[in-house]
Structure formats: structure tokens, C-alpha cells
Structure 1
């Protein structure tokens, strides 16, 4: 963990955006027929345009009352830093839910950084060796000590995606089916996992 503690510095945090700022960044990219970050293509621009509509409606996802109560009892400040990009469908589905949940706690601040602009952070938080996003890194707000992580998707959706990959579908069909399944879940699997993870993060913040 020592390397990870040093990866996320105050300078990295200073380059981050709140969810509202990230949403404006995506809107500006779409207006220019672009995506976010350093990787640009017409394909990624189209994905970003489609994802913008998903993000704007997903922010209204119903929140689990038990999780909301838990969030409101968080005793020490946490920083939720999320690696994301506008072209990522999983980020479009899950980042707004994370932002809405963070809004419920006076002690949690959610910030976003772009995967392509923070390669060292991304490399420190790989998933099975891959640069999968969104990736939430929960940090002690003062020390930036890592408390835990989540992402890129809930395990139940991850299992579905792995099965989907076995079908060797065309890329657009794969993306469409994966997103549809995630949207139908409506943030419930994510919230169920956070209900389990958050107490661990709180305990870590107290040590």
C-alpha cells in the first residue's frame, strides 16, 4: 500500500473536478463532437454523446435508505476520488450514483480525475491487470491514505459482462447489451456493495 499512498498527492487532487464540473466537461466535449481526455476518436465521441444522456438521468436513481443512513453517520472526512472518462459506459451508469450518494454525507467529497491524464494513479489501481474504469478510491481526506476501492462495476454485473464476452459479439452490440443490463439494475447492486464496504472504510479512517 505504500506506493499507492504516495501516488495520490495534493497535486493530483488539485487537478480533480467535482461531479458537476465533470458533467460540464463532458457536455463541452459533446458540443465539440469530442470525448474527454487525451484519447480522441469519432467512435469515442459518439459513445460520450450517448453516455451524457445516461448520466443526466442516472443522477436521479433511488437511493437505498440503509446506505443513506450509514453515509450520514460517517464520522471522519473521506475523499472519494474516481477515475473516469466520458466515453466509458460503466462510468456513465455508476458515477452519478456515487455522486448522489456522496451528496448524502457532510463528511464525503467526491472528485473525479481522467484516466488518460493520471496514468500513474490508474496504474496503481488496476483491476485484474487492466485499466478498468470507473475506479473509486476512498481516501482519508487529510492524509490521502487509501481506505479502500470499488469498481469498475458490481460483481453481479461483472459476472454478466464476463459471460457476455464469451459470446464474441460485435463491439457495439456488446456495449449495448452491457449498458442495458447495468441500467436495468438501476444502481442497486452498487449500493448493496457499498453498504458492505463503507463500514470497512470508516474503520480504516479511524486507525
Structure 2
């Protein structure tokens, strides 16, 4: 089973295969903790975010719809959880006037998942207005997490062309955010930041 692709494991996960879930966890937990720790500077918070993310993944396994790779999906969810943690700590610090390090957040992961799904759908819809090559380059950059050099090589483009496509995509997404709240616009830009 260790030679199964992420997609194979996801199919098994949807059928309640705990071993497949464990293998996905083993493949990604260390990277996700490193990502969380880099943003938060706390091993405890980083581990909590990754654990909560995978617990929610198990709970939502029957309804998962992953349009890109699992790596992209789990990275985006963790990034969102990091943002939610930072925002929650800041909000509570501002309201209570106490140090954010001493605050425990209330678990509102279900709401966060719903908001994440809405934002993901918005991003996908907004990307549909991009020219095909621009959309492909942006998707490879932000969702498949390829470097500009890797994209240039795989699509036989110059690095400058890749950068131009990414810049155009970000500008288009920013310009089309007028109909959503400033909070969600900020969150989308955070999720798409590399």
C-alpha cells in the first residue's frame, strides 16, 4: 500500500480505510507541521493545526471533492487554519487586552471548512475568466506548488513568461473581488500567496 498514489489512498479513504488515512497522514504531517511552525513559531499550535486538519479530513472523508492534488488540498487547508489561528488570536487579544499566547481558541472548524469551500469555489470561478495558458500556469504555481522554473520547463516557456502569467492572474483575481467582503478578499490573497 505504501506505493499507492495519493489518489489511490483517497479512494480507499472514502471507503473508510483507516490504513489509507494513516499513510496520507504519514506522507504529509511533517511538511504540514513545518509549514505551520514557520508561520506560528509554536510547535504546540503547529501540531494542533495539523491534528485538527487530519481529524476533519477523516470526518469529511465521504464528501471530499478534491479538484487538484491532495498535496495542494491539504496545504491550502493548513494555510487557512494558520490564518484562522492568527486572526483568532489577534481578535481575542484585541477584545480581552491580554497576551495572545495565553488564549485557547474555540473550535469552529466546521465553519472554517464551509468558508474554505466557499473561497475555493470563488477562486475556481474567478480563474475561469483567465486565458487558458494563464490559468494553467497559475494553477501549477498555486495549486500544484511548482516553482516558476519547473513550470517554465514543463510548458516550454521562459521564466519571465511564467512570471507574467502569474502576475496577470493575481491582478485579475484582485480586480474581481469587488463583490465579496474585504475579509474574504484578504483571505483569498493569503491562500494564494506563495
Give the TM interval when normalised to the shorter protein: 0.3 to 0.5
Greater Cα radius of gyration, structure 1 or 2: 2
Greater relative contact order structure (CA < 8 Å, 6+ sep): 1
Higher helix proportion: 2
Identify, as 1 or 2, the structure richer in strand: 1
